[in-house]
Structure 1
Amino acid sequence: MNSLRIALVNDYEVVARGVVGMLRSYQSRMNVVELDLNKRVGEHVDIALYDTFAATRGDRAAVQELAANTLVETVVVYSWNLDPAHVQAALADGAGGYLSKGLSASKLVAALESIHAGGERIHIGGTGKLTVSAGDWPGREEGLTEREAEVLALITQGFSNAEIAERTHLSINSIKTYIRNCYRSIGANSRTNAVLWGIEHGFRPDRVRIEHPEPAPGGEQVMARA
């Protein structure tokens, strides 16, 4: 079977790079041809894998835009929001599949292949629990969880707690808890301090296309930017 041509779609380079790292051992099956950070997919791909981390454009609009792109054969949403209504909304908006971010790399690859072959469209893992975080995200080295980092990214971009709750499909109380945890991890004592810290530590969205990421000696990634 030929390897699938994949475009990784997200607003943050570190997040997209993290998924590339997950797929590195499966290059014979997954060919990541570009990373699209606030850019339209620029060449034909079998799958556009849309990572919903800090989905500042809104999940629905982004999925609809990807589904309308004639260069994209199938859109697959990659998320930790496993609410059935949200999953069905993504499929209604044009997604051809929906994957949990709790899947291991091997299960992620198998799920993508299954979706492309016309098999099961929804893959959330055996338990549906989102306790496993794979890939990478801004703030990981400072001790932020992926969910905390997502909330901080949205704070950095000026969203209110209510807007963040709407975008992440979490309750206001959950958002407040994540914010407190963020403040503790980064040593901030106010929202202004947190925003300044976020700006200094890569929490603003990127806007670039990175074409044909290839593993370099030592496992590092060499990216050609467009």
Structure 2
Amino acid sequence: MTETTKQPIRVALVDDYDVVLTGLAHMFDRYRDRIVICEIDANAELSDQVDIVLYDSFAQPESDRQELAALVRNPRASRVVVYTWNFQPELVESARTQGTHGYLSKTLPARELVAALEAVHAGERVVSEPPSKRVGSAPGLDWPGRHEGFTERESEILALITQGKSNAEVAALTYLSVNTIKSYIREIYRRIGAASRTQAVLWGVAHGFSPDHHRIDHWLGGP
């Protein structure tokens, strides 16, 4: 009896930023026999039929019910998985009730991320263990400002500021206090030599903190 060849799982990546998405896509380079990236969407609608949409939450509110709900409803997406380091119980529960199929930590090494996606594809609902307080991103990930020395959290806050969010809005979206946001902003200003919010926004626009708006199809020869 001939054994059926197992097909790789078709995955679409969704986020607002190309640099985040391409860094994530490269994490799967060694696993192309198991995971194939069909498309990479930065504020573009899903166009391919895929097994899993991996929704990277950098500078996007994980509680954005409209974005996740639209992906869950999309008939082209069989399953939707959130990829994040923010494990506030309210966010995990919100994603679950919206019908997502997984909530995965960015601290997972590539092999464990691939295994988790395979479990989701097999019908399991997978939720990672919350990361420790000393959060670090998985090797290979990238984000705006990383090469200028920003942590992912600092970059997320600057990205939200660049998008025009107020301190109160940033605090609500990141589940931090306004005073904590102010502390982050002071550190961001110091790093970039900004004396005002306007200067910080202009710096952010000039250094890739504005959301991108396009799709990358057929990543590295994918379908």
TM-score, normalised by the number of residues in structure 1 = 0.89
Q: How many angstroms apart in 2 are the aligned matches of 1:190 and 1:44?
A: 45
Per mean C-alpha deviation after superposition, the further-off stretch among 162-171 and 41-50 is 162-171
Mapping for residues 1-226 of structure 1, pairs under 5 Å: 1-55=6-60, 59-124=64-129, 128-129=132-133, 131-134=135-138, 135-214=141-220
For these two proteins, the number of residue pairs brought into alignment is: 216
Q: Which amino acid is the alignment partner of residue 101 of structure 2?
A: G
- Cα-Cα RMSD: 2.0
- Find the structure with the greater CA-based Rg: 2
Mapped contact 1:102–1:130 kept (Cα < 8 A): no
Secondary structure of 1:179's aligned partner: helix
Mapped contact 1:52–1:59 kept (Cα < 8 A): no
Deviation at 1:21, TM superposition (A): 1.6
Q: Could you say if the C-alpha distance between residues 58 and 196 of structure 1 is closer, same or farther in structure 2, counting changes exceeding 3 Å? A: farther
Mapped contact 1:102–1:124 kept (Cα < 8 A): no
Q: Could you say if the C-alpha distance between residues 40 and 29 of structure 1 is closer, same or farther in structure 2, counting changes exceeding 3 Å? A: same
Deviation at 1:129, TM superposition (A): 4.3
Specify the alignment match of 1:220 in structure 2. none
Deviation at 1:201, TM superposition (A): 0.6
Q: How many angstroms apart in 1 are the aligned matches of 2:112 and 2:11?
A: 16
Q: Could you say if the C-alpha distance between residues 198 and 16 of structure 1 is closer, same or farther in structure 2, counting changes exceeding 3 Å? A: same
Q: Which amino acid is the alignment partner of residue 179 of structure 2?
A: N
Deviation at 1:43, TM superposition (A): 0.8
Q: How many percent identity over aligned positions?
A: 51
Q: Could you say if the C-alpha distance between residues 147 and 57 of structure 1 is closer, same or farther in structure 2, counting changes exceeding 3 Å? A: closer
Deviating runs (4+, > 6 A) in structure 1?
none
Higher relative contact order (CA 8 A, sep 6+): 2
Secondary structure of 1:214's aligned partner: helix
Q: Which runs of 5+ in 1 are unaligned?
A: 216-222
Deviation at 1:177, TM superposition (A): 2.0
Specify the alignment match of 2:3 in structure 1. none
Q: How many angstroms apart in 1 are the aligned matches of 2:18 and 2:199?
A: 23
TM-score, normalised by the number of residues in structure 2 = 0.91
